Amino acid sequence: MALAGALGVSPIGLLMPYADGPDDLVEMTGLGELTADDAWGWMLADHDLAKGFEDVPGSMFARSFPRWVEERQPRGKRQAAP
């Protein structure tokens, strides 16, 4: 967190491998190669890499957000920042 703050970037920006476009393959340690779009979506917790299990208790989504975030904005009702 401190490094991201010092560099003026979001922590996710330090974790995302470089890619020129969404269809480029990037290496994700422990996961193998993913498209940059899939990697970014997973890092944002927008989608689970185990597609089709988004609403299953115990899925990545059930574990990714603090309870107070889910209570304030249930998944699927979040809106992108303007």
- What tens digit of pLDDT does each residue of 33-48 get? 999 999 998 888 887 7
* 3-33 confidence digits (pLDDT tens): 999 999 999 999 999 999 999 999 998 888 9
Number of residues that this document lists for the chain: 82
Q: Phi/psi class of residue 52: alpha, beta or left (left: φ > 0; alpha: ψ in -120 to 50)?
A: left
pTM > 0.75: yes or no: no
C-beta neighbour count of 38 within 10 angstroms: 20
Q: How far is CA 66 from the centre of its chain?
A: 14
Average pLDDT over residues 43-64: 68
> 3-state class of 72 per DSSP?
helix
Which residues, including other chains, have CB under 8 Å from residue 48's CB and lie 6 or more apart? Answer: 42, 54, 59, 60, 61
Q: Are 23 and 33 in contact (CB under 8 A)?
A: no
